[in-house]
Amino acid sequence: MGEFRDRWTAVGLEHQVEPGSSNPAIVDGHPLAIWRGENGQPNIWHDRCPHRGMRLSFGFVRGDTLRCIYHGWGYESGGQCVSIPAHPELTPPKTICAKVYPATTRYGILWTNLADEPSSPLPDLGPEEGWHPLRSLYVNCPAETTADRLRGADCGVPDAKAGNGGDGIATIETGSGLTLLIAIQAVGADKAGLHVVARGEDARASGQRLELARKMQRLRCALEAQ
């Protein structure tokens, strides 16, 4: 699977991963399965069943177990296979285990780190309270280029000033006291994901957040047009 840089990468907004769901994602061309069981804990795995290689993101969740859609093999949140329907009396060997990556939330964003031994700290922009989700969108532009272009992109927000919040993170400050946090996901060579949350008085109103979410479409067009 190759070696990955030790850094935390956003893969979506936390509320987008609903209990009982399994969803695909890609980071640096690497396929991931994101799922959440009844216990509410998000899980991020390599998107491959150890049995026959089927994508686990195509699977289904039962309780706190993810089952492969191909043969129904079940895996608990730690990645261990716990059930093989064709052999119900068999206790699966400990060697049958999905590749598991860390999954954590901060600022309403879901993050992972694909390094073999992650040690880098999570992005830190101060208190976690007060952030509200806007939307996720994807642009046909490399992640590093996207970060550079954000400084001059037009998102339709008056007096917007873009800044650098760290590796894979950008912030946009507005004259109205509103802060947008944009976590950039490197999807592939020419594609990036933008996961956007907001903080400030205006971000509390659902109508204002909806309007800001619409303006993110304008931001995407501006990034792709440069």
pLDDT digits (tens, 9 = 90+) for 92-134: 999 999 999 999 999 999 999 999 999 999 999 999 999 999 9
Cβ-in-10-Å burial (0-12, 13-18, 19+) of 121 comes to exposed
Do 65 and 138 have their domain in common? no
Last residue of a domain, one of 56, 81, 112: 112
pLDDT digits (tens, 9 = 90+) for 36-91: 999 999 999 999 999 999 999 999 999 999 999 999 999 999 999 999 999 999 99
Confidence band, pLDDT 50/70/90 cuts, at residue 159: low
Residues in the chain: 226
Q: Which helix (H) or strand (E) holds 15?
A: none
Do 144 and 103 have their domain in common? no
Do 17 and 56 have their domain in common? yes
Domain range enclosing 101: 9-112
What's the pTM value of the predicted model, to 2 decimals? 0.92
- Domain total for the chain? 2
The residue type at 161: K
Cβ–Cβ < 8 Å for 26, 52: no
Alpha-carbon dihedral sign for residues 94, 96, 102, 104: negative
State the Cα–Cα distance between residues 104 and 109, nearest whole angstrom: 8
Q: Which of 20-29, 64-73, 149-158, 185-194 has the lowest mean pLDDT?
A: 149-158
Here the CATH number for the domain that contains residue 151 is: 3.30.530.20
What's the N-to-C CA distance of the chain in angstroms?
Answer: 33
